[in-house]
Amino acid sequence: GTLTARRASTKTTYERQMTLLRDIGMAALGGSILGISTSAYLALVGRVTGMSGTLRSSYLQLTGQTGPNPMNFIYLGGLLAGGAVMHMLYPAGFEEGGYSTAMMVGSGVLVGLGTTIGHGCTSGHGLCGLARFSKRSLVAVVSFFGTGLITASALYWVMKSDWEPVESPPDSFPRANMAYGVWASASLLVVYGSYLVRDVFHILSAFGCSFTFAVGLSLSGMLKPTKVHGFLAVNQNWDPSLAFVLGGGLGVNLLLWPTIMKWHAPIARDAFDLPTSVEVKPDLVYGGILFGLGWAIGGVCPGPGVVGLSGGYGMSMLMWLLGCVAGQQAAVIIPKLLKSPKAPAKSLKSDADRKVAQLHLCCVQKKHELSCLKGSSSIGGMDEATPLQ
């Protein structure tokens, strides 16, 4: 009996090790595909891949709060289409079963708030920002990863049952209608964006890169909230495989981006359109903390939230996305409500005040002209030497 028990234990350990090795291999493969997708998007379109920004911008544009950027619509449509195709071809990349609506909505709100305040998520800051050696992205990544690890580890025993998917939705659940809705949404977004762009190469570039990104997410394991929780909760049966998603993607980008950044312009556009801010603000930390909290609670971030709509999660991913959009909208509205009105400028009542102001303006203009003449030989040197962060 003892010998049989030992053999069974050895077999179980061996199976776990083989499963972990397989998961690590798939995570590295999926991460490498994510790196290829983000590098291709930089080379073709000249932009950083940011899932939270794409989702937020598309929502704000569709609701008329900002001007249209059709590339975001096409990219979002490619993510939806890629998720739908991968769910048919590789269902193992998705989970079957739903989660608590309150948990998913709350997680989505926190992620929406955090990614808006912190200006990015795991793709924009993690895969792309770190590849550009951005200090801002490093601060953000440390903030949301650290918060996610601490939160998931602390809440493991409290939320363990909530982190397990409930039974698969019954056959009566309109799963087919959800699939049709995903395909319809993807088609409408791509058609509308294509109508605005009217450039076949731009359309194919954005759609191809986003479709490939969805493939990478499906293979990597990032679409499984239970796997994300297993990675973030380091104090219980830790699953390190998802670390290879970032490692694989970042490794590809570190190899390709230095060469691409030396180009005069991307292939499909006239110039690169990259973040230029180098200032490290507290918002990056505050946003990262909120994002990390939401990520730890729900196990979902913006990219998987969109691609996962095609999975067998019932309404869970849709509820998460609605919460995320609500959080993003709140992050836009709240600062406007809290912003105090500017005090009106004091009028110049007397002739003496007007003369003093005119004299001061003349002095400033003369000083500016002299400085321009002295430094005309080095104009632009500082801007050209300043690295993009």
Domain residues of the chain, as ranges?
14-338
DSSP 134-192: -HHHHHHHHHHHHHHHHHHHHHHHHHTTTTS--SPPPTTS-HHHHHHHHHHHHHHHHHH
Q: In the chain, which residue ranges form alpha helices assigned H by DSSP?
A: 2-45, 51-62, 70-89, 101-117, 135-159, 175-197, 200-220, 225-232, 243-260, 282-298, 302-307, 316-338, 351-374, 381-385
Compute how many other C-beta atoms are within 10 angstroms of the C-beta atom of residue 4.
8
**The whole model's pTM is what?**
0.82
Side-chain half-sphere of 30: how many Cα atoms within 13 Å? 26
* pLDDT in single tens digits along all 389 residues of the chain: 665 555 555 657 778 788 889 999 999 999 999 999 999 999 999 999 999 999 999 888 888 888 778 889 999 999 999 999 999 999 999 988 889 999 999 999 999 999 999 999 999 999 999 999 999 999 999 999 999 999 999 999 899 888 988 865 544 455 556 777 888 888 888 888 888 887 889 899 999 999 999 999 999 999 999 999 999 999 878 899 999 999 999 999 999 999 999 999 999 888 999 988 888 999 999 999 999 999 999 999 999 999 999 887 878 999 999 999 999 999 989 888 887 555 444 444 455 555 555 655 555 455 444 443 343 333 333 333 333 33
Written as one letter, the residue type at 112 is G
The SS3 assignment for 40 reads: helix
Written as one letter, the residue type at 221 is G
How long, in residues, is the chain?
A: 389
Here the tokens at position 291 are 């994002």
